């Protein structure tokens, strides 16, 4: 359920006509709904109301400060994967005691920053990382709370690029290696193992992989108890899918019920790291039709948003619903919706049927709230889009449109550079 609906033939973001926002801010334009965001967070978090739990929103899905501030106010924690995400989370007022730090490549300085912020725990992905965290913590006279990320070797049945819990993936430790790593953690003076962690993949549309992973974690938990390790946190990661097209993923409530049942009798706080299920359907990307053309029997709608703005279709072959901002009169067309970038891989949709559009019309790509703007780039020297947050009939520009100067702001001036190289 989201708040992008047609009223009087015009697509609205909550109570504001999308076309009015475009009139003010131009295209391409990301528009988010604060009401949808709050609703998705609450629906997710309350699904686990029966047990001790902490919802750590996965910042990578959409890291705009407005998102993080809204979620922090709702009481969410965050799952971060870089010093930059820690900076954003703290800037947005997220309680450090609700921050977990995942990722395979944490650098020394990032570990220091997280220790100084006193985050809840590090999800550790290798023995070397564990040793580094111990050293860094020792250097600043702290004890780092850690959990080890276990790779349970479960098939999440999703796109291979976002499968993370199979043994051929780079993430986490096998159960055998994790056991040794827990023993090592026990012997190291500056780390305290307090949790177990796994994240098996993204855009999961079935319950069974979650349950299979939890079974393996529970079995492993038994072994840790025997080793005298007290596990306080069981982090099951994120990954719950959303409906882009015709997928029918389980509702968070179903996941909640199943996990609560399976965790009965286990004295742990459940941590979840949802990203997409909270952010995905909170946003749309609006774009203006520049040209239409037909080559032989193939029709193209050329729009001003491209793979640099929304890379998911090009990168994963992902489906995003495309709709006209002005409701059609029933006449339809079938076309590829493509951007201006000089690659055939630059498309938002292929062979898609939608209400007929013409030059100057506006189109919206739905479900663009997660992994949309955050994955954008300046490829082809295209300034990044603006972002707007709407609530009811109010809106705020939450990120300005980049201008040409932003494209070169961090670069050495060309002539000066050539002059110095010659000397
Ligand atoms: N926790 C960890 C450790 C993760 O690596 C991820 C996502 C999440 C949580 C959140 O997963 P979610 O609930 O959003 O599925 N760019 C891709 C998705 C990459 C996901 C990476 N990790 C896409 O556009 O589909």
373: CATH = 2.40.37.10
Do 52 and 178 belong together in one domain?
yes
Do 66 and 195 belong together in one domain?
yes
Among left, alpha and beta (phi > 0; psi -120 to 50; other), residue 323 is beta
Q: Is residue 418 part of a domain?
A: no
**pLDDT the model gives residue 312:** 98
Do 266 and 228 belong together in one domain?
yes
**Candidate from 106, 239, 242, 374 with most ligand 1 atoms within 8 A of CB, to mutate:** 239
Do 272 and 394 belong together in one domain?
no
How far is it, in rounded angstroms, from Cα 261 to Cα 47?
12
Q: What angle do CA 224, 167, 232 make, to 5 degrees?
A: 25
**pLDDT the model gives residue 151:** 92
Q: Is residue 416 part of a domain?
A: no
Nearest CA to ligand 1 atom 6: 238
Is residue 38 a contact partner of residue 45, using CB atoms and an 8 Å limit? no
**pLDDT the model gives residue 413:** 75
Task: Please report, for the domain that includes residue 196, its CATH number.
Answer: 3.20.20.10
Q: Is residue 290 part of a domain?
A: yes
Calculate the alpha carbon distances from 351 to 269, 289, 292 in Å.
47, 16, 14
Is residue 209 a contact partner of residue 201, using CB atoms and an 8 Å limit? yes
Q: Is residue 420 part of a domain?
A: no
Q: What is the DSSP letter of 246?
A: S
List, chain by chain if needed, residues with CB within 6 Å of any ligand 1 atom. 58, 61, 79, 102, 162, 199, 202-203, 237-240, 273-277, 312, 316, 371
Domain that holds residue 17: 4-31+280-409
Do 59 and 13 belong together in one domain?
no
For residue 378, give both structure tokens: 């300046």
Helices marked H in 263-385 — which ranges?
Answer: 276-279, 312-316
Do 239 and 346 belong together in one domain?
no
Please provide the DSSP assignment of 247-265 as one string. Answer: --PPPHHHHHHHHHHHTTT
| Domain stops at, among 277, 311, 330 | 277
Do 387 and 330 belong together in one domain?
yes
Residue located via tokens 């043994």: 167
Q: Is residue 423 part of a domain?
A: no
**pLDDT the model gives residue 423:** 62
Do 10 and 127 belong together in one domain?
no
Gyration radius of the chain's alpha carbons: 23
Do 224 and 145 belong together in one domain?
yes
Could you tell me the distance, in angstroms and rounded to a whole number, from the CA of residue 409 to the centre of ligand 1?
A: 31
Active site residues: 342
**pLDDT the model gives residue 39:** 98
Do 89 and 200 belong together in one domain?
yes
Number of compact structural domains in the chain = 2
Do 272 and 284 belong together in one domain?
no
Is residue 310 a contact partner of residue 285, using CB atoms and an 8 Å limit? yes
Could you tell me the distance, in angstroms and rounded to a whole number, from the CA of residue 367 to the centre of ligand 1?
A: 15
Could you tell me the distance, in angstroms and rounded to a whole number, from the CA of residue 385 to the centre of ligand 1?
A: 22
Do 388 and 247 belong together in one domain?
no
Q: Is residue 219 part of a domain?
A: yes
| Domain stops at, among 257, 277, 297 | 277
For residue 400, give both structure tokens: 């300005």
Is residue 241 a contact partner of residue 156, using CB atoms and an 8 Å limit? no
Q: Is residue 417 part of a domain?
A: no
Nearest CA to ligand 1 atom 19: 162
DSSP 3-state of 228: coil
| Domain stops at, among 209, 242, 277 | 277
How long, in residues, is the chain?
423
> What are residue 286's DSSP bridge partners?
29, 364
pLDDT tens over the chain, length 423 residues = 789 999 999 999 999 999 999 999 999 999 999 999 999 999 999 999 989 999 999 999 999 999 999 999 999 999 999 999 999 999 999 999 999 999 999 999 999 999 999 999 999 999 999 999 999 999 999 999 999 999 988 888 888 877 777 777 788 899 999 999 999 999 999 999 999 999 999 999 999 999 999 999 999 999 999 999 999 999 999 999 999 999 999 999 999 999 999 999 999 999 999 999 999 999 999 999 999 999 988 999 999 999 999 999 999 999 999 999 999 889 999 999 999 999 999 999 999 999 999 999 999 999 999 999 999 999 999 999 999 999 999 999 999 999 999 999 998 777 777 777 776
Q: Is residue 421 part of a domain?
A: no
């Amino acid at each position: 359920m989201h708040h992008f609906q047609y009223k009087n033939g015009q697509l609205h973001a909550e109570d504001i006509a999308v076309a009015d926002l475009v009139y003010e801010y131009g295209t391409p334009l990301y528009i988010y709904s604060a009401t949808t965001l709050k609703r998705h967070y609450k629906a997710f978090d309350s699904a686990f109301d029966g047990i001790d739990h902490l919802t750590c929103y996965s910042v990578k899905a959409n890291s705009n400060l407005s998102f993080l501030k809204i979620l922090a106010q709702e009481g969410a924690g965050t799952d971060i994967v870089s010093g930059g995400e820690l900076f954003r989370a703290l800037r947005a007022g997220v309680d450090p005691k609700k921050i977990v730090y995942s990722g395979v490549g944490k650098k020394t300085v990032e570990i220091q920053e997280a220790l100084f912020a006193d985050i809840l725990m590090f999800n550790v992905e290798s023995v070397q990382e564990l040793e580094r965290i111990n050293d860094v913590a020792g250097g600043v006279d702290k004890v780092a709370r850690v959990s080890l990320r276990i790779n349970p070797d479960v098939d999440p049945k999703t796109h291979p690029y976002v499968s993370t819990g199979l043994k051929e993936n780079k993430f986490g430790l096998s159960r055998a290696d994790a056991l040794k790593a827990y023993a090592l953690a026990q012997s190291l003076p500056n780390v305290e193992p307090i949790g177990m962690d796994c994240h098996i993949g993204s855009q999961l549309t079935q319950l069974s992989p979650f349950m299979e992973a939890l079974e393996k974690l529970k079995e492993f938990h038994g072994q840790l108890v025997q080793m005298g390790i007290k596990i306080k946190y069981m982090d099951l990661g994120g990954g719950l899918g959303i409906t882009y097209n015709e997928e029918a993923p389980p509702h968070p409530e179903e996941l909640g019920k199943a996990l609560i049942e399976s965790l009965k009798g286990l004295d742990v706080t459940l941590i979840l790291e949802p990203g997409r299920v909270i952010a995905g359907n909170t946003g749309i990307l609006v774009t203006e039709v520049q040209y239409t053309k037909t080559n032989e029997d193939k029709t193209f709608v050329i729009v001003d948003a491209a793979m640099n703005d929304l890379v998911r279709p090009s990168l994963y072959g992902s489906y995003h619903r495309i709709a006209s901002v002005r409701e059609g009169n029933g006449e339809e067309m079938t076309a590829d919706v493509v951007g201006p970038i000089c690659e055939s891989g630059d498309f938002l949709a292929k062979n898609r049927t939608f209400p007929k559009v013409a030059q100057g019309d506006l189109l919206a790509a739905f479900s663009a709230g997660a992994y949309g703007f955050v994955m954008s780039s300046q490829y082809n020297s295209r300034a990044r889009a603006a972002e707007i947050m709407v609530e009811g009939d109010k809106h705020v520009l939450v990120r300005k449109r980049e201008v040409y100067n932003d494209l070169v702001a961090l670069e050495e001036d060309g002539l000066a550079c050539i002059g110095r190289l010659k000397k």
